[in-house]
Amino acid sequence: MSLAINKLSFGYGQKNPVIEGLDLEIPSAKVTALLGTNGAGKTTLIRLILGLLTPWQGTIALDGQELTRLKIAQRAKLAAYVPQFSDPALPGSALEIVLTARFSRLSLGCAPKGQDWQAAEEALDLMGIKGLSGRPFMDLSGGEKRKVLIARALAQKAKLLVLDEPTASLDPVAQIDCLSTLRSLAESGLTIVMTTHFPDHALWASDIAALLKDGSILSSGPSNEVMTPDNLTELYGRPFTVVKTEKLLSGRSYKVCLPLWGKPS
């Protein structure tokens, strides 16, 4: 599923726009990373993509279908969302929380069927947390809860997966595992859009990077071409360098983005 965003503008109340004249192409079966400072409009943009907010101007098309013409039930089958969260109070076991993703595919009043339970179990297994299925969600750690919420989105079996800070609350190893899972999902045909505050994550896991500044796109395109010292310096207002690592266990070299110490002159 591809997305075409054209001349998009949006603001809250009568305030100045948070998003203004934004154009962005999000290709199918790729990972697209959205980066920017706090308040740059990343979360607002993904809420617009999901139809949770209505644009002031402009259009968002999913596979050529304008978002505003789709019913809520249609959107739920096309797109799954993992929001930012602090500590959601959700009753039930981890498996039951993941199972709620299947309700968008059930008729009113119908109970989940065997295939729905299977989809929930497969999603937990994909996130490496099948052992948590019977644990109460509220007893889990912040990182475990995060994995359960990602599993819930996967169980929805949508073509588009939108994640707001997917590695939040995860330890460094779990972050790598999460990003590796997202890459595998894209390679299997899923379109993924994620926000991140970590430029390294965009370089490691995304095909496309889009840099948001002051509500518009500063630069977008293949991640290796966009994530340059000059672009990152302009985006964050602090000098950056990009360093290539030695070959690691996989035999690959990686690039690491580093903000330089000290105040800019």
Is 0.85 topped by the overall pTM?
A: yes
pLDDT of 264 higher than 60: no
As a whole-number percent, the residues of the chain with pLDDT over 90 amount to 56
pLDDT, average across residues 18-37: 95
Q: Cα dist. 212→1, 22, 145, 217 in Å?
A: 22, 9, 28, 5
pLDDT tens, 195-221? Answer: 999 999 999 899 999 999 999 999 999
Q: Cα dist. 128→121, 144, 181, 252 in Å?
A: 11, 10, 10, 24
Burial class of residue 87 (count of CB atoms within 10 Å of its CB; 0-12, 13-18, 19+)? exposed
Q: Are 51 and 78 in contact (CB under 8 A)?
A: no
DSSP 35: E
Q: Are 94 and 137 in contact (CB under 8 A)?
A: yes
CA distance 250 to 252: 5
CATH level 3 topology of 3-259: Rossmann fold (3.40.50)
User: What confidence score (pLDDT) does residue 78 get?
Assistant: 87
pLDDT tens, 162-196? Answer: 999 998 878 888 888 889 889 999 999 999 999 99
pLDDT tens, 44-74? Answer: 999 999 988 999 999 999 888 888 888 887 8
Burial class of residue 112 (count of CB atoms within 10 Å of its CB; 0-12, 13-18, 19+)? middle
